[in-house]
């Protein structure tokens, strides 16, 4: 474990720092020899899909694309450490509750099904038969199937997700909360309404053509390092890259490609962002509106001078609806409000508009900095509006690019992991499998927590993920999970959700992406869909971490057989050969016609994206301009009105050494933090104004409309280049501060990027250098 210190990182992102970090990860997991072979198979045509993120690969045939994030994800899964029943059973669950997330997962890969024994407060080994029987008994005994909840985290393959949703719908509910609810839900909702497809419209080829790339609220240096390869190439050929981020993220500033010998030898790196806009947390709608306003004014000027128009009026006339209302709304906006809410000056916003006006092909990318707000859907639609003004959707080198997180989060949705399924999909599913699917809407993540809290649901089943740690309002959520009669988690590693359990509890160990999956029909492939709608195969190459592991499809099949004795679905037969599952997927979804044939070709295939063809599946049959007011009524505004200048806006972010709730290590190299996670980034002037020394400790308390006090204790103040009145800290430690009721309008995504907080000086923790 590294020494605890704060030290500014001066090197470019990537480069030697990344290589050193990779070597450390491999050593830490004792997989140096095997690891090299495993890594070389990541994202290869005959290898496995990297579980690191959903960023696509160049044609899936390139030599190994170096990615620090991928190495960590693979190393964590291929670790030699084993969380055996004996190891886990050494401690009581109450004892393990006090451990950090890092310590829990650090026990290694799960090896056998585990059953919680209340009499000893410990987990012990159980058999698969006993485990499935217990779950089936609980499910069959519920007065209504709607009292069971079936969560999915986005690593689940298409085949597993398809069987899982089928099982749950045959059982009788649409209760499918998933990680997407906490992530890109506003992108899906917003884009569906605006352009008719809830997915991005660009491909990697577009990145090679773009003149300008906008990046809103996304930190690719840490979360999508392979994207830096595209940005690096774009920057080197002179494309403008505009970043909108309250923090100056190193990966957005300068990157050294570890495969570029000159950059490595000279320690130089390439500047990535040409124009950095350090806007206020939550200031995106105001900023984008300012750029739109400036674009209208540039268009006025061009018109007056007889110059070519700035707006693509032909595109607007032929392909869009709602333009006039949008124009009137944007023009009526006052610069003073746009400046105050965005934290950017009129001059800065005009400069961004000028780049837009002089670029023929523009891509807009975004991440959690856009979606996890009260007005996340509106922010996504403002990005779409901005691109529509100059016809940048459905044009080579241009388009929308929500950058997804989990490696198959997009595919899981495509497969029907959704609490609000369409009638057409349910009709078809019912026909193909000869049953009547439930028609009413199920619980999303927020709905599921409320239902458990209120006793309306009492069985929780998690297909991967870490529900207890990833969700908001930690105290309330934990209480809700503890009210359950049964909690079950299919997992690769032991985590927080396993120690915050129901009266009865099971942990079921499954195969990971990197492992060989052998069924009756031989070794199997699974398929996944990346962030750009490409579907391709993945097959592991390592021996399973334990002989007792089952694949996720097999877990679903065996559970379904026991729970639904009258089901007409041939569960066992389907999982003997996953081609059979894929044939059924093709029967249900037209876009998967000839699925097996197409997916077995190297590189797979791309799903149709109507918006990228300028076919608009919206309510008006056109791409819709969606006007939105600059928000002035959020919890932040209310908190400021009530409490004044004491209120900070807290945004919760990922450190470099974590994957969501999986904490690989305690460093956040690019932000200069080492050996610790309980830090709060603050503007030095804000700190000095209050007379707080750097390194002082504070408790963070959030303000909420429900008046309830929520607190996260003992964070160290760390000076950072962040706008005044904004602070940032890591998730999941800060989830205790996010009220359950505070979520995005129209998408119900927790507002974990805009929490009104106050800071209260406190004592240093007993072990000030610890986590």
Ligand X SMILES: Nc1nc2c(c(=O)[nH]1)N[C@H]1C(S)=C(S)[C@@H](COP(=O)(O)OP(=O)(O)OC[C@H]3O[C@@H](n4cnc5c(=O)[nH]c(N)nc54)[C@H](O)[C@@H]3O)O[C@H]1N2
In whole angstroms, the minimum distance from the beta carbon of 316 to ligand X comes to 26
- Cβ-in-10-Å burial (0-12, 13-18, 19+) of 120 comes to exposed
Closest contact distance (angstroms) between CB of 658 and ligand X is: 5
The option from Mo ion, ligand X, none interacting with 194 (CB < 5 to 8 A, set by class) reads none
User: How far, in Å, CA of 382 to CA of 425, rounded?
Assistant: 30
The partner in contact with residue 122, picked from ligand X, Mo ion, none with C-beta cut-offs of 5 to 8 angstroms by kind, is none
The contact pattern for Mo ion, residues 149-188, with x = CB under 5 A and - = no contact, is: ----------------------------------x-----
> Distance between alpha carbon 668 and the CA centroid of its chain, in Å?
19
Quote the CA–CA distance of 40 and 25 in Å, as a whole number.
16
Strands 755-762, 697-702: pairing is antiparallel
Quick one: 644 exposed, middle or buried, by C-beta within 10 A (0-12, 13-18, 19+)? exposed
Using CB under 5 A as the binding rule, whether residue 447 contacts Mo ion is answered as no
Our CB check for Mo ion shows the closer of 83 and 377 to be 377
Shortest spacing between CB 444 and ligand X, in angstroms: 13
Q: Which is nearer to Mo ion, 145 or 405 (CB)?
A: 405
Residue nearest to Mo ion (CB): 405
CB of 179 to Mo ion, least distance (A): 6
* Closer residue to ligand X, CB minimum distance, 182 or 311: 182
Q: Which residues contact 510 (CB under 8 A, 6 or more apart)?
A: 464, 490, 491, 492, 549, 550, 551, 552, 555
Comparison of 281 and 585: residue with beta carbon closer to ligand X? 281
Strand-pair partners of 719 = 682
Sort residue 343 into left (φ over 0), alpha (ψ -120 to 50) or beta.
left
Print burial letters for 530-540: b (CB count within 10 Å at least 16), e (below 16).
bbbbbbbbbbb
Nearer to ligand X (CB atom), residue 70 or residue 391: 70
Measured from the CB atom, is 174 or 734 closer to ligand X? 734
Q: From the CB of 105, what's the least distance to Mo ion, in Å?
A: 18
367 binds, among ligand X, Mo ion, none (CB under 5 to 8 A by kind): ligand X
Distance CA 246, CA 671 (A): 13
CA distance 151 to 141: 20
The least CB distance from residue 441 to ligand X, in Å, is 21
Q: Peptide bond preceding 732: is omega within 30 degrees of 0, i.e. cis?
A: yes
* Helix, strand, coil % over all residues of the chain, rounded to 5: 40, 20, 40
369 binds, among Mo ion, ligand X, none (CB under 5 to 8 A by kind): ligand X
When the beta carbons of 492 and 563 are compared against Mo ion, the nearer one is 492
Nearer to Mo ion, 153 or 683 (CB): 153
Annotate each residue in 393-432 with x if it binds Mo ion (CB under 5 A) or - if it does not, as one string.
------------x---------------------------
249 binds, among Mo ion, ligand X, none (CB under 5 to 8 A by kind): ligand X
CB of 442 to ligand X, least distance (A): 17
Give the number of C-alpha atoms closer than 13 A to the C-alpha of residue 138, restricted to the C-beta side.
Answer: 25
Choose from ligand X, Mo ion, none: what does 216 bind? Cβ within 5-8 Å by kind: ligand X
Site residue total, Mo ion (CB under 5 A): 2
**Smaller CB separation from ligand X, 310 or 511:** 511
Q: Which residues bind ligand X (CB under 6 A)?
A: 53, 69, 105, 153, 155, 179, 182-183, 216-219, 222-224, 244-247, 249, 279, 281-282, 284, 367-369, 372, 405-406, 463-467, 470, 490-493, 495, 510, 512-513, 552, 651-654, 658-662, 731, 734-735, 738, 752-753
Least Å from the CB of residue 414 to Mo ion: 16
Nearest to 563 by CA among 228, 56, 270, 132: 132
**Containing H/E element for 162?**
helix 158-171
Q: How far is CA 485 from the centre of its chain?
A: 29
d(CA 227, CA 248): 18
Smallest separation, CB 68 to ligand X (Å): 8
Residue 399 CA to residue 26 CA, distance in Å, equals 38
157/320 with CB nearer Mo ion: 157
Q: DSSP H helical segments within 270-374, as ranges?
A: 284-304, 313-319, 323-331, 335-342, 346-357, 368-371
x/- contact string, 480-499, with Mo ion (CB under 5 A)?
Answer: --------------------
222 binds, among Mo ion, ligand X, none (CB under 5 to 8 A by kind): ligand X
Distance of closest approach, residue 178 Cβ to Mo ion, in angstroms = 10
Binding to Mo ion (CB under 5 A) within 183-202 occurs at 183
Q: What's the min distance (Å) between Cβ of 730 and ligand X?
A: 9
Match 């917003």 to its residue by tokens.
190
Residues in touch with Mo ion (CB under 5 A) = 183, 405
């Amino acid at each position: 474990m590294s020494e605890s210190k704060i030290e500014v990182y001066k090197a470019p992102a990537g480069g030697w720092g990344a290589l050193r970090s990779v070597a450390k990860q491999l050593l830490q997991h004792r997989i140096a020899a095997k690891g090299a072979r495993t890594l070389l198979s990541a994202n290869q045509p005959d290898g496995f899909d990297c579980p690191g993120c959903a960023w696509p690969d160049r044609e899936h045939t390139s030599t190994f694309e170096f990615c620090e994030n991928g190495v960590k994800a693979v190393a964590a899964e291929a670790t030699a450490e084993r969380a055996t029943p004996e190891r886990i059973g050494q401690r009581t669950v109450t004892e393990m509750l006090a451990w950090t997330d890092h310590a829990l997962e650090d026990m290694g890969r799960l090896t056998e099904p585990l059953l919680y024994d209340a009499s000893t407060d410990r987990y012990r080994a159980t058999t698969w038969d006993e485990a499935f029987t217990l779950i089936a008994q609980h499910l069959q005994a519920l007065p209504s199937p709607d009292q069971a909840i079936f969560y999915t985290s986005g690593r689940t393959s298409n085949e597993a997700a398809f069987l899982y949703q089928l099982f749950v719908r045959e059982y009788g509910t649409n209760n499918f909360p998933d990680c997407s609810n906490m992530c890109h839900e506003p992108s899906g909702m917003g884009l569906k309404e605006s352009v008719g497809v809830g997915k991005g419209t660009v491909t990697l080829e577009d990145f090679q053509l773009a003149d300008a790339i906008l990046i809103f609220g996304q930190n690719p240096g840490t979360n999508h390092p392979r994207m830096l390869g595209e940005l690096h190439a774009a920057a080197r050929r002179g494309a403008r890259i505009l970043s909108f981020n309250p923090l100056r993220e190193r990966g957005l500033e300068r990157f050294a490609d570890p495969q570029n010998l000159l950059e490595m030898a000279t320690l130089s790196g390439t500047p990535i962002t040409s124009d950095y806009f350090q806007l206020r947390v939550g200031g995106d709608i105001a900023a984008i509106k300012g750029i739109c306003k400036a674009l209208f004014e540039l268009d006025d000027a061009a018109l007056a001078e007889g110059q070519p128009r700035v707006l693509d009026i032909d595109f607007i006339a032929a392909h869009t609806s709602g333009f006039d209302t949008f124009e009137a709304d944007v023009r009526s906006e006052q610069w003073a409000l746009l400046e105050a809410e965005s934290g950017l000056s009129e001059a800065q916003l005009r400069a961004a508009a000028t780049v837009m006006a002089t670029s023929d092909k523009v891509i807009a990318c975004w991440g959690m900095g856009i979606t996890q707000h009260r007005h996340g859907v509106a922010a996504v639609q403002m990005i779409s509006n901005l691109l529509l003004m100059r016809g940048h959707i459905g044009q080579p080198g241009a388009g929308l690019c929500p950058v997804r997180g989990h490696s198959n989060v997009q595919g899981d949705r495509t497969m029907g992991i959704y609490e609000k399924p369409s009638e057409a999909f349910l009709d078809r599913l019912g026909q193909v499998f000869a049953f009547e699917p439930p028609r009413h809407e199920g619980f999303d993540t927020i709905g599921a927590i409320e239902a458990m809290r209120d006793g309306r649901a009492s069985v929780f089943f998690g297909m991967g993920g870490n529900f207890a740690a990833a969700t908001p309002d930690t105290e309330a959520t934990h209480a809700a999970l503890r009210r359950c009669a049964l909690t079950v988690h299919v997992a690769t590693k032991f985590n927080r959700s396993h120690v915050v359990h129901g009266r009865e509890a099971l942990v079921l160990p499954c195969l990971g992406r990197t492992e060989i999956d052998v069924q009756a029909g031989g070794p199997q492939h699974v398929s996944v869909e990346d962030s750009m709608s490409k579907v391709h195969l993945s097959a592991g190459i390592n021996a399973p971490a334990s002989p007792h592991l089952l694949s996720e499809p097999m877990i679903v099949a065996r559970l379904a057989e026991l729970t639904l004795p009258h089901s007409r679905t041939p569960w066992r037969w389907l999982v003997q050969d996953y081609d059979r599952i894929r044939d059924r997927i093709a029967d249900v979804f037209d876009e998967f016609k000839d699925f097996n044939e197409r997916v077995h070709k190297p590189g797979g295939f791309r799903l149709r994206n109507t918006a990228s063809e300028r076919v608009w599946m919206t309510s008006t049959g056109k791409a819709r301009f969606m006007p939105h007011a600059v928000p002035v009524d959020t919890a932040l505004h209310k908190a400021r009105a009530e409490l004044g200048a004491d209120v900070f806006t807290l945004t919760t972010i990922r450190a470099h050494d974590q994957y969501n709730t999986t904490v690989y290590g305690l460093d956040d190299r690019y932000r200069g933090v080492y050996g610790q996670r309980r830090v709060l980034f603050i503007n030095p002037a804000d700190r000095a104004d209050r007379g707080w020394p750097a390194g002082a400790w504070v408790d963070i308390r959030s303000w909420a409309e429900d008046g309830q006090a929520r607190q996260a204790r003992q964070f160290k103040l760390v000076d950072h280049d962040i706008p005044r009145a904004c602070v940032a800290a890591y998730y999941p430690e800060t989830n205790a501060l996010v009220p359950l009721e505070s979520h995005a309008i129209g998408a119900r995504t927790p507002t974990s990027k805009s929490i009104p907080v106050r800071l209260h000086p406190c004592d240093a923790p007993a072990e000030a250098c610890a986590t």
